[in-house]
Every structure is written in C-alpha cells, then in structure tokens.
Amino acid sequence: GAVVSQHPSWVICKSGTSVKIECRSLDFQATTMFWYRQFPKQSLMLMATSNEGSKATYEQGVEKDKFLINHASLTLSTLTVTSAHPEDSSFYICSARAGTGGWEEQFFGPGTRLTVL
C-alpha cells in the first residue's frame, strides 16, 4: 500500500510554544489529507480535512486559529499547534487519500505524540 510519513514521531514542548507536525505522502499524490487527534483509550477524532491548495475544513469545536493547517502541495500537509497547552497533549495522526470522491482508502501516517509540559 501507499506510504504516509509523519515528522516528528514525538515531541515535548513547553506550554505557550508552537509545534509543527509534517505529513507527507511518499509515493502518491494526496488530494485530500485528514488530521486526527486521539486521546488515550479513545477513538480517532477528526480535526480537519484539507484539500491541496484550499483552506482546511475544521470540525465543530476545533479552533482553526489554534490548529493551523497548510496543504501547500500534493504530498505535504502541516499542522501547527500554536500556543500549545498541556490539554493539547495527544496523539496526532494524519491520513491521506488520493482521490476526491468515492471510495478511496485512507492511508495513515505513524502518528506524532505531543506532550506539552
């Protein structure tokens, strides 16, 4: 299957700082990328959907000014957690899809574990 990478795998930062997470599709062009957040023992929660070259669509309750998403190319999307706080500590996972509609398998990145002190 297709490969999606995320960087960094884990990050520890101080409260109030910003953290950028990269998601790359390595062997296919991802027209759509998804950002999820997963708290311990809970399911995946979709944060936002981004299509290359357009603004991300955020799910209800997700602050777009706090979680900045940029999908500048067909192989790269970034999530920036601005002014991070301890409650933002979570497992952030991106996924990528090649098509724009119909059934297209989502390929997941390995995830980024963020710990905010």
Note whether 103 binds other proteins by CB under 8 A. Answer: yes
Closest approach of other proteins to the CB of residue 100, in Å: 9
Strand partners of residue 19 = 81
- The answer to whether 52 and 74 are in contact (CB under 8 A) is yes
Note whether 106 binds other proteins by CB under 8 A. Answer: yes
**Other CB atoms within 10 Å distance of the CB of residue 51:** 16
Q: Which one-letter DSSP state was computed for residue 74?
A: T
Q: Which one of 62-70, 71-79, 80-88, 96-104 is the stretch in contact with other proteins (CB under 8 A)? A: 96-104
Note whether 102 binds other proteins by CB under 8 A. Answer: yes
Note whether 113 binds other proteins by CB under 8 A. Answer: yes
Options 51, 52, 91, 98; binder of other proteins; rule CB under 8 A: 91
Note whether 101 binds other proteins by CB under 8 A. Answer: yes
Note whether 42 binds other proteins by CB under 8 A. Answer: yes
DSSP 3-67: -EEEE-SEEEE-TT--EEEEEEESSS--SEEEEEEE-TTS--EEEEEEETTSPPEEPTT--TTTE
Give, for 94, the enclosing helix (H) or strand (E).
strand 90-97
The nearer residue to other proteins, 11 or 46, going by C-beta atoms, is 46
Binding site for other proteins (CB under 8 A): 1, 34, 41-46, 49, 91, 93, 101-111, 113
